[in-house]
Amino acid sequence: MRPAREQDLPAIVTLMNAAFRGGGEHRGWSTEADYISGTRTSESLLREEIASQAQFFVVDADAPSRIRGCVSLKQLSPEKWYLGSLTVDPAQQNSGFGRELLAAAEDYLVSQGASVIEMTVVQLRHALISWYERRGYHLTGATRPFPYGDSRIGTPLRDDLSFVVLEKLLETVR
């Protein structure tokens, strides 16, 4: 896992759009395509996230200008960080790579003094929520509204979308 560079942004966009909204033979196991259509992100949205102090990290693939996975991390307080956009190439899903990427992100956050990770997940992504729960995350009971009307992140196909909030307490020593 390394910090993303400006030249990585097109590959991050391609990866995230394939993983979150892709279809066909490379449809991932946790896609949002059944309830959100269109693109998941763009270079301009990634730049906005980075400008808001989010740090993107990537894991390179063997082919030039391709990445296997990415994650964004944003400090909310000295102890609490937000983890978002954990993305694995759909062709690499179910290989254990997602667990490795999540563990690398958690290790990085521990090295930064974090003790809590927060994330949000669309409430309909039951398999993904369960995946995170098996890795020590728990539902907090809090929800956040879905950004209806912001077509930059896709078009919702349902009117009942929201985000659930998950948290994990980090061990200070791994």
Evaluate if residue 60 carries a pLDDT over 60. Answer: yes
Task: Give 103-132 pLDDT, tens digit per residue.
Answer: 999 999 999 999 999 999 999 999 899 999
pLDDT band at 174 (very low <50, low <70, confident <90, very high): very low
Domain interval for residue 49: 2-169
pLDDT at 91: 78
Task: Give 21-56 pLDDT, tens digit per residue.
Answer: 876 555 666 778 888 988 888 888 999 888 888 899
pLDDT band at 143 (very low <50, low <70, confident <90, very high): very high
Q: What is the DSSP string of 55-69?
A: EEEEEE-SSTT-EEE
Number of domains in the chain: 1
Instruction: For the chain, give the number of residues.
Output: 174
CATH of the domain at 61: 3.40.630.30
Establish if 174 belongs to a structural domain. Answer: no
Q: How far is CA 97 from CA 35, 90, 94, 119, in A?
A: 26, 11, 8, 19
